[in-house]
């Protein structure tokens, strides 16, 4: 018997784990897409669209990190990252920006966010949408075992990245816990925020990498441009 789902449907790796796991019958199903979004780009948007459609989500929350604790570089101020996400999703039905990590003091932990959402909206089926690289590093997240008891994971592949074990498979301890994982039917898109920042700093064209409104915002605000001799960005921002 072929147990694989028909084309266009996500594949469930394992059944839900206990009463705390997502997958409650009849519950609203809401996707969560978090990240630094520095900047938000077309691959983020494609992933969100695929997740909403393939998983029959009732809505999708975009959650910009306030203080992304695993970043080893300075990030663009949250006011700009929030504005770019708003521009990217304003014409996307069912997509909503959630500001709770921007508003919350301290490091932005996904567990804290999901616990706050679960308390505010009991009975909701939370689906955490992540890329393959995030899945491979899940064991480095804050209190990840407790997080896996509260969500279903929806994982999309992306081009292989250096240093990822076994093409993005999770660490053995994550596999041993047996999380519920849905595989998203999404072709990989070779777009990264790092490349966009590099290209913007060089004055390059971003039209194929970010939504048009985001490209205009980056240009108008002078984001990611190298400072001039006075230490100021070209726009003075």
Query: Is residue 236 scored above 90 in pLDDT?
Result: no
Residue 5's pLDDT is what?
37
Which one-letter DSSP state was computed for residue 139?
Answer: G
Q: What is the pLDDT of residue 31?
A: 98
pLDDT digits over 53-83, tens only? 999 999 999 999 998 866 667 899 999 999 9
pLDDT tier, 176 (very low <50, low <70, confident <90, very high otherwise): very high
- 42: Cβ contacts below 8 Å, ≥ 6 apart: 189, 191, 208, 209, 210, 211
Whether the per-residue pLDDT at 157 is higher than 90: the answer is: no
Q: Is the pLDDT of residue 115 over 60?
A: yes
Q: Is the pLDDT at 148 greater than 70, yes or no?
A: yes
pLDDT the model gives residue 61: 98
Of 66-80, 88-102, 156-170, 173-187, least confident by mean pLDDT is 156-170
Instruction: Tell me what pLDDT residue 228 has.
Output: 40
Residue 206 confidence (pLDDT) above 60: yes
In the predicted model, is pLDDT for residue 160 greater than 70?
Answer: no
pLDDT tens digits, 1-48 = 433 333 344 444 443 333 344 445 578 999 999 999 999 999 999 999
pLDDT band, very low/low/confident/very high, at 187 (cuts 50, 70, 90): confident
- Of 130, 206, 183, 215, give the one whose Cα is nearest residue 9: 183
Distance CA 16, CA 138 (A): 18
Confidence (pTM): 0.82
Q: How confident is the model at residue 167 (pLDDT cuts 50, 70, 90)?
A: low
Contact (Cβ atoms closer than 8 angstroms) between residue 79 and residue 86? no
If we measure between CA atoms, which residue out of 144, 145, 154 comes closest to residue 180? Answer: 154
């Amino acid at each position: 018997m072929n147990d694989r789902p028909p084309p266009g449907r996500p594949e469930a790796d394992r059944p839900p784990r206990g009463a705390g796991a997502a997958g409650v019958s009849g519950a609203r199903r809401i996707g969560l897409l978090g990240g630094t979004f520095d900047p938000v780009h077309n691959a983020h948007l494609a992933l969100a669209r695929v997740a909403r459609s393939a998983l029959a989500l009732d809505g999708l929350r975009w959650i910009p990190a306030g203080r992304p604790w695993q970043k080893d570089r300075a990030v663009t101020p949250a006011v700009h990252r929030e504005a770019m996400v708003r521009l990217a999703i304003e014409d996307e039905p069912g997509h909503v920006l959630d500001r709770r990590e921007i508003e919350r003091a301290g490091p932005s932990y996904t567990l804290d966010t999901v616990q706050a959402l679960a308390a505010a909206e009991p009975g909701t089926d939370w689906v955490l949408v992540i890329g393959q690289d995030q899945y491979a590093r899940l064991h480095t997240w804050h209190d990840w075992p407790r997080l896996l008891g509260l969500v279903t994971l929806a994982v999309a592949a992306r081009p292989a990245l250096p240093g990822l074990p076994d093409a993005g498979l999770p660490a053995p301890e994550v596999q041993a816990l047996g999380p519920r994982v849905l595989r998203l039917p999404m072709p990989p898109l070779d777009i990264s925020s790092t490349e966009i920042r590099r290209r913007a700093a060089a004055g390059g064209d971003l039209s194929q990498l970010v939504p048009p409104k985001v490209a205009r915002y980056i240009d108008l605000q002078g984001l990611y441009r190298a400072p001039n001799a006075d230490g100021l960005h070209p726009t003075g921002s």
